[in-house]
Amino acid sequence: MTTTLDPPTSTTVASRSSIAARPTVDHLDLLEAHAIFIMREVAAECERPVLLFSGGKDSAVLLRVAEKAFRPGRLPFPVMHIDTGHNFPEVIDFRDRRVAELGERLLIASVQESIDTGRVADPGHGGMRNRLQTTALLDAITAHGFDACIGGARRDEDKARAKERVLSFRDAFGQWDPKRQRPELWQLYSGQVGPGEHLRAFPLSDWTELDIWQYIEREAIELPSIYYAHRRSVIERDGMLLAESEWVAPRPGEASYEETVRFRTVGDATCTGAVRSEASTVERIIHEVAISRVSERGATRADDRFSETSMEDRKREGYF
């Protein structure tokens, strides 16, 4: 054994040459391999997993990883969309086409149905439905008896997500208790839960927004067109650019106008903002993301602006 300790005047650290060597396995290879590993563990250890697919970029990557994990076989779980009813048509087209291409089964859990059956209060025409997804999701988990939901959430998105395990336990009420998370050592993911309990599994936990885009470029993954720069009629509200739609119309004092924009995230159309951008290709988006000064959710999500801990509060209730 050699212990190198550094006296104040001469420091020994690993020589530069040891890292200058070009790695044969790069960071994307390792992130992909880890995500495949997690997905296979969840599929093997859980009785009834489901993969959550919103049609967004992270869930498109998640589906690609699922193919890598299980092809040439079928995916050992269905694909489920929690549908707020306030959708971008391009995203729904993409969702249906992508699942059909894969030949997999799509389940849709509808927030509109939760409203119609009185499970949640109607926020009114154009009212924000993001938080209401929790009820639709938990009801679907109960109805189908799912014991694991595989989602595309990343730890770099939010400070509460940054604290969450790869396999995150939910009690019989669907709640996350951030003060009592299970230890998660090495890559030994334990998928066992009791009756009524379930897990959320996040294979993309360690990916950043930039990693996602680099992987989309490398794998030539198709995305809904709204991720790329396009002309659109928008309304400026609360510092965000909302797309004018059947649910979002100018309020008194507001005006809609044409702008070249793209979406950095895709969610409920009433609370997902667009960003001004000329980035019309993956390569340009990678450049844009690399130099961005505003975080992904900061730029695009009105639902995170309510309080300091809005994501933590929603997650405690059972949100994604």
Partner 1 sequence: MAAIADGTDAVVEAGGKSGRGSDADVSRGAAGQPVMDLLRFAAVGSVDDGKSTLIGRLLHDTKQLFDDQIEAIEAASRRRGIDGMDLSFVTDGLRAEREQGITIDVAYRYAATPTRKFVIADCPGHVQYTRNMATGASTADLALVVVDAPKGLREQTRRHVCIAALLGVRHLIVAANKMDQIDWDQSAYDRVVTEMAHLSERLGVVSCTVIPVSALHGDNVADRTHAALWYDGPTILEALEQAPAGEWAGVQGTHRGSGARLPVQWVLRQPGGGRTYAGMINGGPLRPGGEVVVLPSGQRSKVTAVETLDGPLGEAAVGLSVSVQLADDVDVSRGDLLAAADDLPDVVTQLVATVCWFDRKPLVAGAQYRIKHTTRVTPARIVSVDARLDVNRLELLPADSLGENDIGTVTISVASPLAVDPYHRNRITGSFVVIDPTTNGTVAAGMVGLPDLTPPDEDPASLVDHA
| Residue list 84-143, contact with partner 1 (CB under 8 A) | none
Cα separation of 231 and 280, whole Å? 11
Residue 115: strand, helix, or coil: helix
Closest separation in Å from C-beta 9 to partner 1? 6
Region binding partner 1 by CB under 8 A among candidate stretches 99-107, 145-153, 189-197, 242-250: 189-197
List binders of partner 1 among 194-213 (CB under 8 A). Answer: 194, 205-206, 208, 210-211
Among 6, 195, 238, 246, binds partner 1 (CB under 8 A): 6
What letter would DSSP give residue 189? -
Does the footprint of partner 1 cover residue 298 (CB under 8 A)? yes
Closer CB to partner 1, residue 118 or residue 194?
194
If one counts every other C-beta atom within 10 angstroms of the C-beta of residue 90, the result is 17
Q: Could you tell me the smallest distance in angstroms from the CB atom of residue 24 to partner 1?
A: 6
Which range of residues in 48-56, 117-125, 128-136, 304-312 is near partner 1 by CB under 8 A?
304-312
Binding of partner 1 by 71 (CB under 8 A): yes
> From the list 173, 178, 278, 306, which residue makes contact with partner 1 (rule: CB under 8 A)?
178
- Decide if residue 18 touches partner 1 (CB under 8 A): yes
Calculate Rg over the CA atoms of the chain.
21
Nearest C-alpha neighbor of 115 from the set 104, 125, 101, 107: 125
Residue 103 or 183 with smaller CB distance to partner 1: 183
Q: Give the phi and the psi of residue 155 in degrees, each rounded to 5.
A: -70, -20
DSSP conformational letter for 182: P
Choose one: 95-103, 221-229, 265-273, 286-294; the region binding partner 1 (CB under 8 A).
Answer: 286-294
Beta carbon of residue 175, minimum distance to partner 1 (angstroms, whole number): 15
Nearer to partner 1, 111 or 216 (CB): 216
Torsion angle of the four alpha carbons 39, 102, 161, 174, in this order, in degrees rounded to the nearest 10: -80
Sorted by sequence, the CB contacts under 8 Å of residue 41 that are 6+ apart come out as: 189, 191
CA distances from 276 to 169, 232, 283 (A): 38, 10, 17
Q: How far is the CB of 28 from partner 1 (least distance, A)?
A: 7
Which residue in 47, 44, 46, 24 sits closest to 36, CA to CA? Answer: 44
Output the smallest distance, CB 254 to partner 1, in A: 23
User: Nearer Cβ to partner 1, position 139 or 209?
Assistant: 209
Contacts 24+ apart (CB under 8 A), 304-313: 304/158, 305/238, 309/160, 311/158, 311/159, 311/160, 311/161, 312/159, 312/160, 312/178
Q: Count the residues of the shown chain that bind partner 1, applying the rule CB under 8 A.
A: 88
**Closer residue to partner 1, CB minimum distance, 83 or 147:** 147
Phi and psi at 30, nearest 5°, equal -70, -40
Between 12 and 253, CB nearer to partner 1: 12
Compute the least distance from the CB of residue 124 to partner 1, in Å. 29
Contacting partner 1 (CB under 8 A), which of 258, 280, 294, 306?
A: 294
User: How many other CB atoms are found less than 10 A from the CB of residue 230?
Assistant: 16
When binding is defined by CB under 8 A, the residue of 106, 127, 144, 190 that contacts partner 1 is 190
